[in-house]
Amino acid sequence: MKNIFDLPTHLTPQQETFEQLIGGENVIIERIVSTGQKTPEGQFYDQERDEWVLLLQGRATISYHDGTLHDLKSGDYLHIPAHTKHRVEATSTDQPCIWLAIHAHF
């Protein structure tokens, strides 16, 4: 048994961790812990699968290629359809962001 809020002991402000909780051919569920990271300038994610993401702790901003911004706080979730270009503009530094991400074809 594990707890989604138990943070890695080796977590530093320079790193972000990705932990696959369960996965298969059709779905991947992962926990992401961010400590101030953002997508490098000029880069966007363009994923093969839809992504449903829930921010369990912290604050973050996600933007789309068209300039739309989503400011997320604890408890907010977002569906990002496959091939929707997006990026992480910011994640909180005063407390780690804990994300639950589900990648699938919805």
pLDDT at site 88: 97
Tokens of 31: 């926990």
Kindly state whether residue 9 falls inside one of the protein's structural domains. no
pLDDT at site 15: 81
Kindly state whether residue 64 falls inside one of the protein's structural domains. yes
Kindly state whether residue 10 falls inside one of the protein's structural domains. no
Kindly state whether residue 2 falls inside one of the protein's structural domains. no
pLDDT at site 74: 98
pLDDT at site 50: 97
pLDDT at site 84: 97
Kindly state whether residue 5 falls inside one of the protein's structural domains. no
Question: pLDDT averaged over consecutive 10-residue blocks of the chain (106 residues)?
Answer: 88 83 95 94 95 98 97 98 97 95 94
Tokens of 81: 């359809």
pLDDT at site 8: 80
Kindly state whether residue 7 falls inside one of the protein's structural domains. no
Domain hosting residue 64, numbered range = 17-104
**Number of structural domains found in the chain:** 1
Kindly state whether residue 98 falls inside one of the protein's structural domains. yes
Task: Assign residue 97 the CATH number of its domain.
Answer: 2.60.120.10
Kindly state whether residue 3 falls inside one of the protein's structural domains. no
